[in-house]
């Protein structure tokens, strides 16, 4: 494995772990009133890692075969906790693919955030098993197929929510 690939694998692994740690803390309620802005930061940071994977040359596994891993962790507890924290802003509308499918689709932030986490966690399984090239392959493949869309949709929704909390200010009523 080249130093360039190794450096990219190390960087994505660090971003993936940071995202998982941050998401877990926020799901536990450690974000308090800053939940939405903190989620926006987490999503933005992992989006950078995804963009770097997207800008990289295709990672092709020898024999085009993924080595088996132990079962991935169940993300349902985190998803449920996030859904509870997000409450009425969990549901939103999104255009899945603005070039092929322009119909509006219902999404949930809690589903998006945990779908990203599940794909990152799967790649971390390869990375921790000493297979950084396989981890890169998985992260890049799943970025194009699943988590890239989820992270982009979540970022747009979170940015809109944060903007609304800052800009949608009720005007003061002046006495007549």
Domain ranges of the chain: 3-167
Residue 4: its pLDDT value, please?
A: 86
Rounded Cα distance, 82 and 17, in Å: 18
User: What's domain 3-167's superfamily in CATH?
Assistant: Protein of unknown function DUF5063 (1.20.120.1550)
User: Reduced to 3 states, what is the DSSP secondary structure of residue 93?
Assistant: strand
**How confident is residue 1, by pLDDT bands cut at 50, 70 and 90?**
low
Pairwise CA distance, residues 116 & 154, whole Å: 10
pLDDT in tens, 81-134: 999 999 999 999 988 777 888 889 899 999 999 999 999 999 999 999 999 999
For the cut 90, the answer to whether the pLDDT of residue 139 exceeds it is: yes
Q: Supply the pLDDT for residue 173.
A: 62
CA distances from 86 to 41, 67, 79 (A): 16, 37, 10
Are 152 and 62 spatial neighbours (Cβ–Cβ below 8 Å)? no
* pLDDT tens-digit map of 49-91: 999 999 999 988 877 777 777 776 789 999 999 999 999 999 9
Instruction: Enter the pTM of the model.
Output: 0.88
User: What residues does 101 pair with on adjacent strands?
Assistant: 97
In this prediction, residue 175 carries a pLDDT of 65
């Amino acid at each position: 494995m080249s130093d360039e690939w190794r450096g990219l694998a190390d960087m994505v692994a660090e971003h993936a772990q940071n995202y998982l740690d941050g998401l877990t803390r926020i799901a536990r309620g450690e974000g308090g009133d800053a939940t939405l802005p903190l989620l926006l930061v987490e999503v933005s940071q992992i989006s950078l890692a995804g963009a770097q994977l997207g800008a990289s040359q295709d990672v092709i596994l020898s024999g085009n075969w993924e080595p088996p891993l132990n079962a991935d962790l169940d993300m349902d507890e985190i998803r449920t906790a996030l859904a509870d924290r997000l409450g009425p802003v969990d549901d939103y509308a999104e255009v899945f693919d603005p070039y092929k499918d322009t119909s509006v689709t219902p999404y949930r932030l809690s589903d998006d955030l945990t779908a990203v986490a599940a794909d990152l966690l799967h790649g971390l399984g390869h990375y921790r098993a000493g297979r950084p090239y396989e981890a890169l392959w998985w992260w890049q493949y799943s970025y194009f197929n699943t988590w890239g869309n989820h992270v982009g949709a979540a970022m747009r929704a979170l940015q809109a929510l944060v903007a609304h909390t800052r800009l949608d200010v009720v005007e003061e009523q002046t006495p007549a």
